């Protein structure tokens, strides 16, 4: 009876931990939610902004071209145009390492695609802006790109940003922001469960 209880408890703890540790901080991460009538519309929970030049920030609806579902983002433009979109979260805490990932490819041209994590304090001032250039060439098929960084002291807000510039368009779909290292948290629960099982089974 005790043995069955211990293993049931272990399973429940493992399930709860896996949901928390690997939970995606980002809402509407596949850009499926929102009222879509044309590419000029915008998905729920995201903010977009253009830079200089002839830019585009298109919310596309095509199940044959999307990585999954039917909608995805395509951004960039002509010459030195730039466009970016982001989502702000308050769930990242100081000293927590977070990985920002996105499935990406080029729509047309040879644009430059970026992922960026901007850590900000309570006054909405940037503490550290971690921006990585991922490619500046044609990427014909959906490819998963990721960047990771540890939140500095004073982090209150974290902006997860997708940016494209240069000449051409970059497509983004199925983005995620998850804490690391999840495996150690799960291992810790396994050790605790093992300790408890040995303690009570030997009693």
Q: Please tell us whether the domain made up of 25-180 is placed in CATH 2.60.120.260.
A: yes
The span from the CA of 97 to the CA of 59, in Å, is 30
* Mean pLDDT, residues 77-88: 85
pLDDT confidence tier of residue 97, bands split at 50, 70 and 90:
very high
The span from the CA of 203 to the CA of 198, in Å, is 8
The span from the CA of 142 to the CA of 173, in Å, is 9
pLDDT confidence tier of residue 10, bands split at 50, 70 and 90:
very low
Contact 68, 173 (CB under 8 A): yes
16-52 pLDDT tens trace: 444 445 689 999 999 999 999 999 999 999 999 766 5
- Whether pTM exceeds 0.85: no
pLDDT confidence tier of residue 102, bands split at 50, 70 and 90:
very high
Q: What is the pLDDT of residue 104?
A: 98
Instruction: Record the tokens describing residue 107, joined without a space.
Output: 């729509």
Contacts of 121 (CB under 8 A, 6+ apart): 127, 154, 155, 156, 157
Domain boundaries, the chain: 25-180
Q: What is the DSSP string of 19-57?
A: HHHT--S-SSTTS--S--SSTTS--TT-EEEE-SSSEEE
């Amino acid at each position: 009876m005790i043995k069955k209880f211990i293993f049931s408890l272990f399973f429940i703890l493992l399930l709860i931990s896996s949901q928390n540790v690997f939970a995606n901080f980002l809402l509407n991460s596949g850009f499926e939610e929102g009222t879509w009538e044309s590419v000029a519309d915008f998905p729920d929970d995201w903010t977009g902004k253009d830079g200089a030049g002839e830019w585009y920030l298109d919310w596309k609806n095509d199940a044959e071209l999307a990585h999954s579902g039917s909608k995805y983002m395509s951004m960039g433009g002509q010459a030195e145009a730039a466009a970016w979109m982001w989502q702000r979260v308050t769930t990242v805490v100081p000293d927590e390492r977070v990985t920002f990932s996105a499935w990406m490819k080029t729509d047309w041209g040879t644009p430059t695609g970026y992922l960026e994590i901007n850590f900000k304090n309570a006054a909405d001032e940037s503490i550290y802006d971690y921006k990585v250039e991922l490619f500046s060439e044609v990427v014909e098929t959906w490819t998963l790109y990721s960047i990771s960084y540890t939140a500095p002291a004073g982090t209150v807000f974290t902006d997860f940003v997708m940016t494209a510039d240069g000449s051409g368009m970059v497509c983004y779909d199925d983005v995620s922001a998850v804490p690391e290292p999840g495996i150690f948290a799960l291992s810790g629960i396994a050790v605790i469960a093992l300790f408890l099982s040995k303690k009570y089974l030997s009693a």
